[in-house]
């Protein structure tokens, strides 16, 4: 097949050549009788003798307008097709890349478009522009004239309010890294790159992005680069196509924001022009597609010559942060206001109270206003026995900068009664590592403290009693305490009886130790007490007689316990029996 095609091309070329031959055959009155007699000389005119029609070219004359904010516009109306094209030229580029972040300018302009704006995400921009059959980026836009207003707004939003979504930045970074990797696939690319590096050595033109420089670039770098270069007096915008000049630069503000009068700002803007006094406010922008809140803007209006100037500052992130702080604050207030513990915020060195929750007001009788207005109130009402301990706690907080738990302090309430509190104290540290204040969370342990003190007194008494005393938990009849005298009477080492079953100290009589236990416990449950003689047994098996006073007691640690006080009556009993 290839041979046939080659033959066909050969025949075609021969026919063309033959046609040229006959075209340039010299005319003569006498016809040639053979090809050998033909004059086949082809004569072409010298280039200097060639004559062409004059080139008709009229350069377009675009209108140049310099706006007061510094933007330079080039406008060229052309109504032949219903299309408007625009190109933006920003005085920024790779020459402004830092040496360790080459590629920053390119990534910035790319992610300005793909990374979305304050009004729409990058994906929403894609969807909307596709619907409008338009394109827009930081370099310009293209649209049907009927959509000019909306696309122009999108273009302005890309230039002024890019958000540089992290996800889109990472996507652009990976694509750039892949492109860098592929640069070494072609020898010509390597040669060109190395040639430029030599020619432009020491100049940014000779710098090329690398894996390291692209990896160095952060979202904050893009934001700073945008803030540095993307402003009105650094922009040239050329617009051509089917538009009216007035649509771009002479539109009334009410045509752009139809509800401006309803908001009340239209009259205020007029007053700015008349009086020259600036005016500031905040504005909320909603998504055009679903009506959801898109962004917050701070608006500053001021007079520029005879006109109105407006500066819009994006405060969306600040508003989000404020909203989050408000939510956290409200949540903390709900927790502290409804907590059963007293919560205080205490200033430097414990000298003054900056916050007291409702429980603190109830426990001490002082209102929040009284706590805050009197910086010395805490020092006035602390009980004398706790003054030194309070000083130690404050010194420890500022020295170790760590929370303190189970700190006990006593206070005199407004009505005069004593309040004992157990605190967890948490220092709040600033960025310099210094304690700026601390939070104290305290619970009322007054009743528990009184019971503990009473138990301590009882324990001291029992320890020093001449009688033997032991406690048995009623629930399971396990011995939980025995005083030294009881241990001595029964021949046990200190603590050896703890955890033993109660019948271990009962001797066998006409009843078993279990029966003796059941009889005494039964009477206890009915009457709450039992008194009488009981035959006991020592550890070594020696029996002896005791007189026991047994009663029930509600212990804060062990619950209901049996308190049994034993007096050794063996000698007395033997003397009586001897008589």
| CATH number of the domain within which 122 lies | 3.30.830.10
Domain boundary among 216, 245, 274: 245
- CA 303 to each of CA 282, 313, 460: distance values in angstroms, whole numbers, following the listed order: 18, 17, 87
207 vs 35, higher pLDDT: 207
Give the C-alpha separation, 240 to 79, whole Å: 9
- In a domain, residue 112? The reply is yes
Instruction: Lay out the sheet containing 307-314: strands in order across.
Output: 279-286, 293-304, 307-314
Q: Are residues 118 and 188 in the same domain?
A: yes
Give the C-alpha separation, 224 to 160, whole Å: 13
Average pLDDT over residues 492-514: 94
Average pLDDT over residues 39-62: 78
Average pLDDT over residues 353-363: 88
Residue 2 is predicted with a pLDDT of 39
Nearest-10 crossing angle of helices 219-229, 166-182: 90
Residue closest to 482 by CA, chosen among 456, 474, 454, 499: 499
- Angle subtended at Cα 83 by Cα 81 and Cα 84, rounded to the nearest 5 degrees: 130
Reported confidence tier of residue 21, pLDDT bands at 50, 70, 90: very low
Q: Helix (H, G, I), strand (E, B), or coil: what is residue 550?
A: strand
Give the β-pairing of 140-144 and 135-137: antiparallel
Reported confidence tier of residue 87, pLDDT bands at 50, 70, 90: very high
Mean pLDDT comparison of 429-438, 443-452, 480-489, 552-561, highest-scoring range: 480-489
- Where residue 437 falls (left for φ over 0; alpha for ψ -120 to 50; beta otherwise) is beta
Q: Are residues 81 and 148 in the same domain?
A: yes
Residue 460 is predicted with a pLDDT of 58
Q: What is the distance between the terminal CA atoms of the chain, rounded to a whole angstrom?
A: 149
547 vs 335, higher pLDDT: 547
Residue 7 is predicted with a pLDDT of 42
pLDDT 10s digits, 294-316 = 667 777 787 766 777 776 666 77
How many CA atoms are closer than 13 Å to the CA of 26, on its beta-carbon side? Answer: 12
Q: Are residues 133 and 163 in the same domain?
A: yes
DSSP string, 295-326: EEEEEEEEEETTEEEEEEEE-HHHHHHHHHHH
Chain-wide mean pLDDT for the chain?
Answer: 83
Residue closest to 172 by CA, chosen among 98, 93, 113: 113
Using the CB atoms, write b or e for 401-418: b if 16+ within 10 Å. eeebeebebbbbeeeeee
Give the C-alpha separation, 400 to 429, whole Å: 11
Which region among 115-119, 350-354, 459-463 has the lowest average model confidence (pLDDT)? 459-463
Domain boundary among 412, 444, 476: 444
Give the C-alpha separation, 400 to 449, whole Å: 28
3-state helix, strand, coil in the chain (%, to 5): 45, 25, 30
Q: Are residues 131 and 232 in the same domain?
A: yes
- In a domain, residue 106? The reply is yes
Q: Are residues 229 and 263 in the same domain?
A: no
Give the C-alpha separation, 373 to 367, whole Å: 10
Neighbouring residues of 404: CB distance < 8 A, sequence distance ≥ 6: 393, 396, 397, 423, 424, 425
Residue closest to 382 by CA, chosen among 411, 418, 409: 411
> For the purposes of burial, counting CB atoms within 10 Å of the CB of 164, is it exposed (0-12), middle (13-18) or buried (19 or more)?
buried
- In a domain, residue 330? The reply is no
Residue 186 is predicted with a pLDDT of 82
Q: Report residue 132 as tokens.
A: 């409008």
Q: Are residues 212 and 92 in the same domain?
A: yes
Q: How many domains does the chain have?
A: 5
Residue 39 is predicted with a pLDDT of 59
- E-state strands within 448-558: 468-473, 478-482, 529-537, 543-555
Q: What is the 3-state secondary structure (H, E, C) of 200-236?
A: CCCCHHHCCCCHHHHHHCCHHHHHHHHHHHCCHHHEE
Average pLDDT over residues 533-541: 95
- Let me know: does 323 contact 344? Beta carbons within 8 Å: no
Average pLDDT over residues 116-126: 87
Residue 16 is predicted with a pLDDT of 41
DSSP-derived letter for residue 282 is E
Q: Are residues 131 and 229 in the same domain?
A: yes
Share of the chain above pLDDT 70, in %: 84
Residue closest to 543 by CA, chosen among 575, 573, 521: 573
Residue 190 is predicted with a pLDDT of 85
- In a domain, residue 332? The reply is no
Strand partners, 327: none
Given a cut of 90, whether residue 45 has pLDDT beyond it is no
Q: Are residues 562 and 416 in the same domain?
A: no
Q: Are residues 298 and 425 in the same domain?
A: no
- Taking the CB of residue 163, how many other CB atoms lie within 10 A of it? 22
Reported confidence tier of residue 222, pLDDT bands at 50, 70, 90: very high
Residue closest to 107 by CA, chosen among 213, 234, 204: 213
Average pLDDT over residues 85-106: 91
- Let me know: does 446 contact 420? Beta carbons within 8 Å: yes
Residue 570 is predicted with a pLDDT of 92
Q: Are residues 413 and 556 in the same domain?
A: no
- In a domain, residue 488? The reply is yes
Average pLDDT over residues 211-232: 91
In which element (H, E) is residue 72 found?
strand 72-77
- In a domain, residue 407? The reply is yes
Q: Are residues 10 and 81 in the same domain?
A: no
Given a cut of 90, whether residue 36 has pLDDT beyond it is no
Instruction: Lay out the sheet containing 435-444: strands in order across.
Output: 353-356, 342-346, 435-444, 418-429, 404-412
- In a domain, residue 451? The reply is no
Q: Helix (H, G, I), strand (E, B), or coil: what is residue 338?
A: coil
- CA 153 to each of CA 448, 456, 506: distance values in angstroms, whole numbers, following the listed order: 71, 81, 98
- Let me know: does 465 contact 486? Beta carbons within 8 Å: no
Range of the domain at 24: 2-49
Q: What is the 3-state secondary structure (H, E, C) of 26-42?
A: CCCCCCCCCHHHCCCCC
- In a domain, residue 453? The reply is no
Nearest-10 crossing angle of helices 166-182, 104-114: 130
Give the β-pairing of 468-473 and 478-482: antiparallel
Reported confidence tier of residue 112, pLDDT bands at 50, 70, 90: very high
Residue 437's CATH number:
3.30.450.20
Strand partners, 143: 84
Which region among 255-264, 277-286, 523-532 has the lowest average model confidence (pLDDT)? 255-264
DSSP-derived letter for residue 117 is B
Q: Are residues 195 and 267 in the same domain?
A: no
């Amino acid at each position: 097949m290839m041979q046939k095609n080659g033959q066909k091309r050969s025949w075609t070329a021969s026919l063309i050549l033959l046609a040229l031959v006959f075209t340039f055959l010299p005319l003569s009155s006498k016809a040639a009788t053979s090809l050998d007699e033909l004059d086949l000389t082809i004569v072409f005119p010298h280039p200097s003798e060639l004559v062409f029609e004059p080139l008709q070219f009229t350069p377009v004359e675009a209108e140049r307008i310099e706006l007061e904010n510094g933007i330079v516009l080039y406008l060229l109306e052309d109504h032949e097709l219903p299309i408007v094209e625009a190109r933006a030229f920003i005085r920024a580029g790779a020459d402004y890349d830092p040496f360790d972040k080459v590629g920053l300018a390119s990534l910035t302009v790319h992610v300005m478009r793909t990374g979305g704006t304050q009004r729409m995400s990058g994906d929403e921009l894609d969807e909307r522009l596709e619907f409008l059959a338009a394109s827009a980026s930081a370099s310009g836009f293209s649209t049907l004239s009927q959509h000019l207003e909306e696309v122009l707004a999108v273009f302005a939003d890309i230039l002024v309010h890019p958000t540089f979504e992290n996800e889109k930045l990472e996507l652009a970074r990976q694509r750039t890294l892949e492109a860098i990797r592929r640069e070494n696939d072609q020898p010509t690319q390597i040669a060109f790159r190395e040639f430029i590096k030599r020619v432009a050595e020491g100049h940014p033109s000779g710098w090329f992005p690398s894996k390291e420089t692209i990896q160095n670039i952060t979202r904050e770098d893009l934001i700073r680069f945008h803030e540095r270069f993307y402003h009105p007096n650094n922009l040239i915008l050329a617009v051509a196509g089917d538009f009216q000049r007035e649509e771009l630069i002479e539109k009334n503000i009410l045509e752009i924001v139809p509800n401006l009068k309803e908001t009340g700002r239209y009259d205020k803007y007029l007053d700015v022009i008349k009086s020259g006094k600036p005016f500031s406010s905040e504005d909320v922008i909603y998504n055009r597609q679903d009506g959801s809140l898109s962004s917050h803007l701070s608006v500053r209006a001021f007079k520029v010559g005879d006109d109105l100037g407006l500066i819009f500052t994006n405060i969306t992130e600040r508003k989000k942060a404020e909203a989050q702080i408000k939510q956290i604050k409200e949540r903390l207030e709900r927790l502290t206001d409804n907590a059963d513990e007293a919560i205080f915020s205490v200033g430097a060195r414990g000298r003054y109270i900056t916050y007291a929750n409702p429980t603190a007001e109830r426990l001490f009788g002082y209102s929040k206003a009284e706590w805050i207005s009197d910086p010395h109130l805490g020092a006035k009402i602390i009980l004398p026995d706790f003054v030194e301990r309070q000083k130690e706690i404050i010194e420890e907080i500022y020295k170790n900068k760590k929370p303190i738990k189970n700190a006990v302090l006593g206070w005199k309430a407004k009505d005069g009664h004593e309040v004992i509190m157990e605190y967890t104290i948490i220092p709040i540290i600033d960025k310099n590592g210094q304690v700026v204040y601390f939070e104290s969370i305290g619970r009322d342990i007054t009743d528990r403290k009184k019971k503990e003190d009473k138990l301590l007194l009882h324990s001291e008494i029992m320890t020093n009693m001449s009688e033997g005393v032991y406690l048995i938990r009623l629930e399971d009849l396990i011995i939980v305490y025995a005083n030294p005298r009881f241990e001595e009477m029964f021949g046990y080492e200190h603590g050896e009886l703890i955890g033993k079953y109660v019948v271990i100290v009962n001797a066998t009589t006409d009843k078993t130790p279990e029966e003796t236990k059941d009889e005494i416990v039964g009477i206890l449950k009915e009457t709450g007490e039992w008194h009488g003689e009981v035959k006991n047994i020592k550890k070594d098996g020696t029996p002896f007689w005791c007189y026991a006073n047994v009663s029930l007691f509600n212990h804060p640690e062990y619950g209901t316990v049996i308190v049994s006080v034993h007096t050794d009556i063996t000698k007395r009993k033997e003397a009586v029996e001897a008589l």
